[in-house]
Structure 1
Amino acid sequence: MESLADFPVEQILKGAKHAIENSEYLPTLNRMIECCQAGLVELGLPAPHDAYVEACQAPSPKSAQAWSHPAVYLAGRDSEWFFLANNEERLTWPVFRSHYQRYCAAVLRGESLTIPAPEALEKHAPEPLSNDEQLAALKELRESSGL
């Protein structure tokens, strides 16, 4: 029961019904977890490995990308983008999967996940140089380049 504690009762019942209807034998715990996770698709959550691939392939800035679900971004962020990009899947997949399952469980409990807005760049318009300053800068550039 502890292994299924992250899933709401409704999700467990749906998973059990699916497993019983599609199996000749009673489902194992692993099969029950798989069936419960299948219900994630109904909530817009991608399959765990699909989410992992999406997180690994997303360009920067990460928070500005169009994510299939905020849980994918948050799991990638918690797994650390540098770690995901610079290590083998055998090392990164278990870390990402753990974070992703935690966020999926939060979504199943009815929590709303959001992606933080990307940080804005400073906006300052430099003042143009006067004609005399432009000529002095041009002269300096010519001298430094040997022209």
Structure 2
Amino acid sequence: MKDSKQLLSQVEQEIARSQKTSTTAAGPSDSSQNHGERAPSSELIDAINQVFALFRINYHNQYHSAFGDVTTLNQAKRLWVESLQRFSPDAILRGAKKAIEESEYLPTLHKMIGFCQGSPALHGLPDVHSAYIEACQAPSPKAEFNWSHPAVYHAGKLSDWYFLNSNIERVAFPVFRDHYRTLCDRVVRGETLPPPEIKRLPEKTETPLSKDENLERLASLRKDLGL
């Protein structure tokens, strides 16, 4: 059996050939032309290359059964590049390793997306109802509260603190839930949310000028302006 470096090199050559063929022979896809989708980065392509190499080593017979010819293999690579570009390259590689550790079967693209996302708990995200309770009960100033995760704070802020505190759960929870889930999706895709911005009072405050000082400044200004 070839070693991993040889396999990785071969996979890289295969995907490079497939991309060259699709660009020169068929041209850009209709979706790329119509919607202006950005081309996949070299880091993303490298991550997909490594994923296929790892799967080839770990799921040898299943891999060759699923990708028995070059055409099928290249089509699969293009599909995975397109579908997984929402994730960072690191998240994709972590997902592949997780798939190898937890599944004895070659993962489908759908399962691979799940492995890349991981569970919210793995990212330190509380479940949605616990997050809602935390947002409703957090004291003011909200930015200074010790939040379990920045996503809870941002979901509360987007929902409007007054709205959360002045409406019953049946009304307020769906609004918070939608914002929180959107933020959770961003986190599991590898995005780091900013911490709450704490506004501090300026260290120095100017002492108001006296009446005489104001008159003196006004006279100086008139002199400079030639009035």
User: Fold match, TM over 0.5?
Assistant: yes
Aligned partner of 2:164 in structure 1 is: 84
Number of matched pairs? 102
Task: Determine the C-alpha separation between the residues in 1 that align with 2:118 and 2:173.
Answer: 19
Q: CA deviation at 1:38?
A: 8.1
Partner SS for 1:60: coil
**Structure 2 alignment gaps of length 5 or more:** 1-83, 104-116, 209-227
Aligned partner of 1:96 in structure 2 is: 176
**Structure 1 alignment gaps of length 5 or more:** 19-36, 128-147
Task: Determine the C-alpha separation between the residues in 2 that align with 1:57 and 1:46.
Answer: 15
User: Per the alignment, do residues 111 and 104 of structure 1 end up closer, same or farther by CA in structure 2, a change over 3 Å counting?
Assistant: same
TM-score in terms of structure 2 length: 0.39
Task: Determine the C-alpha separation between the residues in 1 that align with 2:136 and 2:206.
Answer: 36
Q: CA deviation at 1:121?
A: 2.3
User: Per the alignment, do residues 38 and 90 of structure 1 end up closer, same or farther by CA in structure 2, a change over 3 Å counting?
Assistant: farther
Partner SS for 1:59: coil
Q: CA deviation at 1:106?
A: 0.1
User: Per the alignment, do residues 62 and 46 of structure 1 end up closer, same or farther by CA in structure 2, a change over 3 Å counting?
Assistant: same
Q: CA deviation at 1:126?
A: 6.5
User: Per the alignment, do residues 38 and 84 of structure 1 end up closer, same or farther by CA in structure 2, a change over 3 Å counting?
Assistant: farther
Is 1:56 aligned to 2:56, yes or no?
no
Aligned partner of 1:142 in structure 2 is: none
Q: Deviations over 1:58-89 (max 9, x none)?
A: 00110111100000000000000000011100
Q: CA deviation at 1:116?
A: 3.3
User: Per the alignment, do residues 65 and 82 of structure 1 end up closer, same or farther by CA in structure 2, a change over 3 Å counting?
Assistant: same
Is 1:119 aligned to 2:188, yes or no?
no
Aligned partner of 1:24 in structure 2 is: none
Q: CA deviation at 1:119?
A: 1.3
Q: CA deviation at 1:53?
A: 0.3
Partner SS for 1:76: helix
- What is the alpha-carbon root mean square deviation over aligned residues? 3.1
Partner SS for 1:105: helix
Q: Deviations over 1:19-78 (max 9, x none)?
A: xxxxxxxxxxxxxxxxxx981111100000000000000001101111000000000000
Partner SS for 2:196: coil
Q: CA deviation at 1:125?
A: 7.8
Task: Determine the C-alpha separation between the residues in 1 that align with 2:118 and 2:163.
Answer: 28
Contact 2:118 2:188 in 1 (8 A): no
Q: Deviations over 1:2-31 (max 9, x none)?
A: xxx9x9684xx97xx89xxxxxxxxxxxxx
Choose between structure 1 and 2 for higher RCO, CA contacts under 8 A separated by at least 6 residues.
1
The structure with more radius of gyration = 2
Aligned partner of 2:150 in structure 1 is: 70
Task: Determine the C-alpha separation between the residues in 2 that align with 1:64 and 1:45.
Answer: 19
Q: Which moved more, 1:112-121 or 1:78-87?
A: 112-121
Task: Determine the C-alpha separation between the residues in 2 that align with 1:53 and 1:38.
Answer: 24
